[in-house]
Structure 1
Amino acid sequence: MPSTSLDYIPFNKPYLVGNELRYIAEAAALGKLSGNGIFTQRCQDFFQREYGFTRALLTNSGTAALEMAALLLDLQPGDEVILPSFTFTSTANAFLLRGATLRFADSSPDHPNIAPAEIARLITPKTRAVVVVHYAGVACDIAAILPLIEQHNLVLIEDAAQAIESYHLTRRLGSIGHLAAFSFHETKNISAGEGGLLAINDSQFADRAEIIWEKGTNRAAFFRGETAKYQWVDIGSSFLPSEMTAAFLWAQLEQRQRILQRRLQQWTTYEQAFAPLAGIGLQLPFIPAYASAHNGHIFYLICRSVEERQQLIQHLADQNILAVFHYQPLHSSPYFHPRYAGPALGQAENYAQRLVRLPLYFELSEQQQTRIINCVLNFYTT
């Protein structure tokens, strides 16, 4: 049973930086609530200016950003999309909903990101796109992936849901693929409760993306005075977030560096404290040299077995600490398994069975983090 004498430590706690309610009140006072108002434009301009995106479009979720990316591909029956199995359902659903055939790739042996050799194995004449996920805000091996994209004339989509303010060498994640999706869900470093962003890095997609974003109309161009009236000109859906969401997000973006520094400090504290566990067979997060900067989004341990992982989670729960596992492989899920005809994806299964995530959020105090560290170390030394 959990100890009632100890304060509860959740896995995640959304952090309010201070100006969220002020900016929401400003948006309400302006009388523009439905989206694409001053705060939407402020956020989009920020990403285009600071990240160098050709176009940045706020969405109501990271899932919506991925769905927009799938719409932009104009997928036809038989078209194939390669993606990792160790990811969230949104990465797959966006393309499955457009009729794509999903080809699931395994993870790398030293970190949960997609293995470039798996991409090479899965490419066929029917392949249209590759989706990479920067797990825990740590870059995929883009240098090994880009030649495959160029050789086979494919579209590269970055699922950068967890990767804001992370880098591959000198390039920000989300600025490398033709398209990229970010999430501002309450579990992310920068949060708006819900919300997301589609980053367009290839100008061929820019104008159409805005039309899809505006429910298939040229409404945005109309309000800029570029057309005499707005009409239904393409497919689309309701992807815009409200101005309330954008106002909340703007407050968070203003404090992004403070949030980043705090999370990296906590992440490094974990890394240093748990370094001895590598000597008894546990894996700590591996940060490749090309992942020149990550954002401290997740700190995880990879236990020696699924049984050990469950015992550790329970041990922490007994001390009022919530630690959690993560993705279950999509290729072997109840929904997709009957449709899957490929080989076993052992690394994805390995991470699903052995990976455990520890609490990491802005307001986690030093005392609370010390308590978590001591609890984990006691599990392995007693």
Structure 2
Amino acid sequence: MQLAPIPFNKPFLAGQELEYIRQALTNGKLSGNGYFTQQSQQFLQSRYGFVHALLTTSGTAALEMAALLLDIQPGDEVIMPSFTFTSTANAFVLRGAKIVFVDSLPNHPNLNTARLAELITPRTRAIVPVHYAGVACDMEPIMQLAQQHSLWVIEDAAQAIESTYRGRPLGAIGHLSALSFHETKNIISGEGGLLAVNDPYFAARAEIIWEKGTNRAAFFRGEVARYQWVDVGSSFLPSELIAAYLWGQLQRVEQIQQRRFAQWYQYYDALQELEQRGYCALPHIPDYAQHNAHIFYLRCRSQQERDGLIGHLSKQQILAVSHYQPLHASPYYASQHDGRTLPHATDHADCLIRLPLYYELDAPSQQRVIDAVTSFYTGASIRQ
């Protein structure tokens, strides 16, 4: 019998998303900063304690707004992990910055905070920690280092909604933060993101940059007599269709998270024996972090083994995938990198595999994935 394919990810409806989209049409306003935008922003600001929250067309757009707010200039240096998505670096490269990459931890793809101080120079302007898989970077030493050297911290919290660091929501710790609502994230709107402003210094200008460099938002609140072009900016705000879908998801955030945690721990409990027998490593969660069940991954013992496991799952109609290739070795940036080897970032890129994890993944399908992974390691195809 032909097995039904199990995708890596699948977009989903959790509540009233379609009804809210219909309401947006009925309201007669589909452009940005309408009712559903404002509802979503207020919810996110209140739930996570942001000083100010602005929905964006993507997490990428939120990072680009952050680079504009920091007035990044050609030659400025920005420190970030090499093991991350291109958007983290692109936002600052577009402003002419030099990216200084830091290696990952040996047991987790997050940046190694112990290697940050040695990378700071008089040209350094910012540090961009990336909370991989919704697991917090060690933020206390990062913020202390930033204060000591008068640097800005921009959290790339694209994967980290509902995650915490020592009880504090991720995205609410750095001076600025970017979240994503891409269809692969826990809370989705297809595309979509959020710029979280945590330093009041940036709040007023962030709204102007968000509204194409104008004070249009202040005008519609009746705060100015007319709106004018007052700064640089772009069209960063999403349409009401995106915001309406997002609002339907945000109202079900606890329901969504409960389901994802059940799936994540089903993987973790079922595959622990493989780790105990030395076949692979399960996700490491530091004591200071509460994750959000965003990604379930395994670390294989070699790239060959990882690729073999992906192929083994594919034969059983299960789509599992690798993740980032290190940016310091990318075709675009390799010639601009300073030549340091970043062995842990490279190792994670070579050995990490992500298993299917999405809202509508049912128990029988998840058990198929577990059985397939287990058979790879305990069957004839085991890699010694």
What is the TM-score with the length of structure 1 in the denominator? 0.98
1:23 is the counterpart of 2:31? no
The answer to whether the aligner puts 1:326 opposite 2:327 as a matched pair is no
Which AA in structure 1 matches 2:243?
A
**SS where residue 202 of structure 2 aligns?**
helix
Residue in 2 that maps onto 1:72: 69
Q: 1:232-251 counterparts in 2 under 5 A?
A: 232-251=229-248
The aligned residue for residue 367 of structure 1 is: 364
1:174 aligns with 2:174: no
* Matches of 1:303 and 1:114, distance apart in 2: 20
State which of 280, 303, 318 in structure 2 corresponds to 1:282: 280
State the 1:79 CA deviation.
Answer: 1.0
**Structure 2 stretches of 5 or more lacking a match?**
380-384
Match of 2:91, SS state, is helix
Q: CA deviation at 1:50?
A: 1.4
Instruction: In structure 2, give the amino acid aligned to 1:288.
Output: P
Aligned partner of residue 133 in structure 1, secondary structure: coil
Instruction: Work out whether 1:58 is the aligned partner of 2:55.
Output: yes
How many Å separate the matches in 2 of 1:23 and 1:381? 49
Q: Secondary structure at the match of 2:329?
A: coil
- Residue 288 of structure 1 aligns to a residue whose secondary structure is coil
Matched to 1:335, the amino acid is Y
SS at match of 1:112: strand
For 1:226 and 1:151, the matched residues in 2 are separated by 38
1:139 aligns with 2:136: yes
In 1, Cα distance between equivalents of 2:207 and 2:89: 23
Secondary structure of 2:327's counterpart equals: coil
Name the SS of the counterpart of 1:331 in structure 2.
Answer: helix
Instruction: Name the aligned partner's letter for residue 285 of structure 2.
Output: I
Do residues 41 (structure 1) and 38 (structure 2) align? yes
Q: CA deviation at 1:52?
A: 1.2
After superposition, residues 187-206 of structure 1 pair within 5 angstroms as 187-206=184-203
Cα distance in 2 for partners of 1:280, 1:101 equals 40
TM-superposed deviation, 1:193: 0.4
Q: Distance in 1 between matches of 2:193 and 2:328?
A: 25
Shift of 1:18: 3.0
Match of 1:92 in 2: 89
Query: Structure 1: how far apart are the matches of 2:339 and 2:304?
Result: 27
- Which moves more between the two structures, 355-364 or 336-345? 336-345
Tell me, what secondary structure is at the counterpart of 1:301?
strand
Residue deviations 1:299-318 (CA, integer Å, cap 9, x gap): 00000000000010000000
Alignment-mate amino acid for residue 376 of structure 1: V
Task: State the one-letter code of the partner of 1:149.
Answer: A
Alpha-carbon shift at residue 81 of structure 1 (Å): 0.3
- Equivalent in 151, 154, 158 of residue 157 of structure 1: 154
Deviation (angstroms), 1:77: 2.3
Q: C-alpha displacement at 1:375, in angstroms? A: 0.6
1:346 aligns with 2:349: no
Task: Tell me, in whole angstroms, the C-alpha distance in 2 between the residues paired with 1:349 and 1:233.
Answer: 44
- SS of the residue corresponding to residue 280 of structure 1 reads coil
Counterpart of 2:263, as a letter, is: Q
Q: Specify the SS of the correspondent of 2:313.
A: helix
Equivalent residue, structure 1, for 2:127:
130
Partner of residue 218 from structure 1, selected from 215, 218, 233: 215
Query: For 1:77 and 1:310, how far apart are their aligned partners in 2?
Result: 40
Bigger shift: 119-128 or 189-198? Answer: 119-128
- How many equivalent residue pairs? 378
2:80 to 53, 61, 83: 83
What is the distance in 2 between the residues matched to 1:320 and 1:368? Answer: 11
Counterpart of 1:263 in structure 2: which amino acid? R
Query: Unpaired runs of 5+ in structure 1?
Result: none
Residue 296 of structure 2 is aligned with which of 288, 294, 299? Answer: 299
By how many angstroms is 1:76 displaced? 2.0
1:281 shift after superposition: 4.2
Q: 1:349–1:309: structure 2 CA closer, same or farther, 3 Å change rule?
A: same
Whether the aligned pair in 1 keeps the contact of 2:15 and 2:252 (CA below 8 Å) is: no
How far off is 1:338 after superposition? 1.4
Identity of aligned residues (%): 64
- Code of the aligned partner of 2:29: K
Give the TM-score of the pair, scaled to structure 2. Answer: 0.97
The answer (yes or no) to whether the contact 2:279–2:377 under 8 Å persists in 1 is: no
The counterpart of 2:312, out of the listed 296, 315, 328, is 315
SS in 1 for 2:360: coil
4-13 or 322-331, larger mean C-alpha shift: 4-13
